[in-house]
Structure 1
């Protein structure tokens, strides 16, 4: 019976049409995921005016989606390790697309908050699954780069949200930007058709025929034969649940450091994303100009994500992230100092590159650190715990704004988490379990799904 090493085929494959299609559809999901999330910062100045919200009320209302994201990431991440990535992605797309669309009909704070919470479940749940899927099918040499390119769709969504807001809100009101969110639900049949499920799920479900078809698309030179038995490392198949496994085999310190890094990074991202337009508006810029800063922030994020992914394939991701977090803290601090428009836009772009870009790179780092059996669980819980930082970000901004502090003090407070994240990430990932995958695959003999033991 012929033994086929699935990891080897995927790792050594050349980037081809299969990877393009996977990258396109995963990125499309993330684009609308980012659109649905950033949309709150876009409509916030208008909501404050229309509904007479206090800064504290506005910050709290912005946190409902983030609560949903926290629970969604923690629930849907582990669920996909059991029922497959594809089904969970479909569920999450329905949640975030449908309820963001319905959000456009909200007439009061309570209706708005309920829709944002339910949409947040899908927004948070889809992230760990598309990251895991892209990681599992990317060639090894460009894995970090592809994941960060895909996840930079989040920033494209943020730019799209800000751009459409500049055009739609003056003409049709704030509701119009929410109605655009129905597009991914319309495209869901195509998404399900083109996205494959994870290799481990295909093998666990006994679907060797589909696995053979996927491998033929990954490597056109691969010819499946009858009675082929596939080898694939999924993680240590112990009786422990996937959540407990995050703390076993030397992973405890790194797991906690990932959680702290996510918390601090997402606090910066959502504090800036929710309050940057309002702070710039307070500094004297009109609404249209202040929304442009949000676009610049997300343009910088794309550059930071792609550049960070390229660097992470060349150097240890831990070092790249440490550098990014230091630059993030410095650039955000400098935003509070009065500068000309060119310097200010440059600082906003750098802040976007090293905050949102770092968030994207964190996902790629976490996805490659954990063994496959607990990959979505690891990403989901790091993201879910980090969402408490995302929840705190808008609230912190609201509290600071209500205190009427000088403008620069708001940015100083937003910068402190960057320094803390730098310390945390410098202590993470030193026992990268991905190296063990290769060792186990090289020494394994027969089993279809091989247990992988981490160091």
Structure 2
């Protein structure tokens, strides 16, 4: 139960609460499945958007209106990522100030309008602007959703849940690939209208998600740090009542309590001091993991279709068939490996998945340069690589979202996502697009080796400096800034 105590001089309000312990002791129930479904939708949207950008690249190049080059396709991908970077920073800051739930609707609304507008682009610059705004909406969702996952899911399954939700990106990728197969088929629809309809499908999905989000509660942990203890208590009591109605037996306590000083927000100077001084080692680890996986993923996946069309002669209308098995490997990785992040632990599993991703990409790149792969064997190789890389990338988000204090969690996620993506992601699609334009397999191999080297370096950094956060309460992994003894 919660209690608010005003200090004698009225300068500080103390919230004494057992909410964190009560949330962590909950059995897994229908509520948690609903959280996974409603929040995982965001990654489905992102997967849909990224896949559409890749699978539609051939149609965008062939469009009599747009007439994109390979470099234009890569530039548009970079515009999407640049929007995601800035959107994450701005909306992440708002998420810590205004709450998780409000931002769910704001960021989804930005995405919905922007992706619908993409369908009506008439040149490179309007297309890039719409992609930039679409990315801003998705980037904002990252901060709100990853923080909410951490704050609602019990500690004992936090790793697996986070990885599975982040891995749902590839469900969207499969939807995007299948949609492209249908919408780029000249027998079904004129390709010039097909790529436009593909982007409108993303807006339609977002409209459905707006209604799904209605039932999501505000994070009780966010409410308690903002002095709204009665609201936080009501949310947790409602979850407990729902689980009891399902037949679960809940421990009635008593539970350990924490004492927090309520605050409206956190000064940016305090954010900087926390990241650069108090937790500078964690900051270095988080940036390394995020930058490596961002370059690895975005550089390769944004130009996936170009490799198939330019080097293997696959028609753009058939690219979706090659993305479906690739997406399956990405979904299965977090799903099958995720439990090990909670049992064997964060550090050994993150090191293993990052290192395997790097080694396998370097080996596959060498085979590609030697010309011994076909489109089918290339796809199978990528499927195996990204079985591990998907778990690795998801674990980067897990790391930065649980290793920093509650009061700056959303902004910290946004900062790491923004810097990591800015360093590793924005330049990647453009670089790989330029390498593909050379028509040289050896040139493209150099890009693959760079991506592999970054993943191996990240594995070393995690092995040396990572922390064990598995099965530990968030307040123990990183004590809240407002904690009072």
- TM-score, with structure 2 as normaliser: 0.83
CA 1:427–1:183: 2 relative to 1, 3 Å: farther
Q: What are the ranges of 5 or more consecutive residues in structure 2 without an aligned counterpart?
A: 4-16, 245-249
Instruction: Give the superposition deviation at 1:2.
Output: 6.9
Query: What per-residue deviation string (whole Å, max 9, x for no partner) do you get for residues 75-133 of structure 1?
Result: 21222111101111211101112111110111111110110111111111101211110
Greater mean alpha carbon deviation, residues 124-133 or residues 208-217: 208-217
Q: Is the 8 A contact 1:231 1:450 kept in 2?
A: no
**Counterpart residue number, 2:482:** 451
Q: 2:441 aligns with which of 382, 398, 406?
A: 406
**Counterpart residue number, 2:6:** none
Greater mean alpha carbon deviation, residues 88-97 or residues 193-202: 193-202
SS at match of 2:276: coil
**Counterpart residue number, 1:202:** 223
Separation in structure 2 between the aligned mates of residue 80 and residue 98 of structure 1, nearest angstrom:
20
**Counterpart residue number, 2:284:** 256
**Counterpart residue number, 1:391:** 426
Q: 1:423 aligns with which of 446, 456, 460?
A: 460
Matched, 1:437 2:465: no
Greater mean alpha carbon deviation, residues 148-157 or residues 183-192: 183-192
Counterparts in 2 of 1:54-453, with a 5 A limit? 54-170=69-185, 171-172=188-189, 173-187=194-208, 189-220=210-241, 231=258, 240-249=269-278, 251-284=279-312, 285-336=314-365, 337=367, 338-339=372-373, 343-388=377-422, 389-406=424-441, 409=445, 410-430=447-467, 437-438=475-476, 451-452=482-483
CA 1:352–1:238: 2 relative to 1, 3 Å: closer
CA 1:235–1:136: 2 relative to 1, 3 Å: farther
Q: Is the 8 A contact 1:325 1:355 kept in 2?
A: yes
Separation in structure 2 between the aligned mates of residue 436 and residue 400 of structure 1, nearest angstrom:
43
Q: Is the 8 A contact 2:224 2:262 kept in 1?
A: no
The count of aligned residue pairs is: 442
Query: What per-residue deviation string (whole Å, max 9, x for no partner) do you get for residues 47-85 of structure 1?
Result: 122233332232112210110011111221222111101
Instruction: Give the superposition deviation at 1:299.
Output: 1.5
Instruction: Give the superposition deviation at 1:235.
Output: 11
Q: What are the ranges of 5 or more consecutive residues in structure 1 without an aligned counterpart?
A: 442-448
Counterparts in 2 of 1:27-42, with a 5 A limit? 27-42=40-55
Q: Is the 8 A contact 2:290 2:397 kept in 1?
A: no
**Counterpart residue number, 1:444:** none
Query: What per-residue deviation string (whole Å, max 9, x for no partner) do you get for residues 19-68 of structure 1?
Result: 12211111123212321233211211211222333322321122101100
Q: Is the 8 A contact 2:225 2:262 kept in 1?
A: no
- TM-score, with structure 1 as normaliser: 0.88
CA 1:331–1:65: 2 relative to 1, 3 Å: same
Instruction: Give the superposition deviation at 1:5.
Output: 0.7
Instruction: Give the superposition deviation at 1:196.
Output: 1.1
Instruction: Give the superposition deviation at 1:234.
Output: 8.8
Q: Is the 8 A contact 1:235 1:371 kept in 2?
A: no
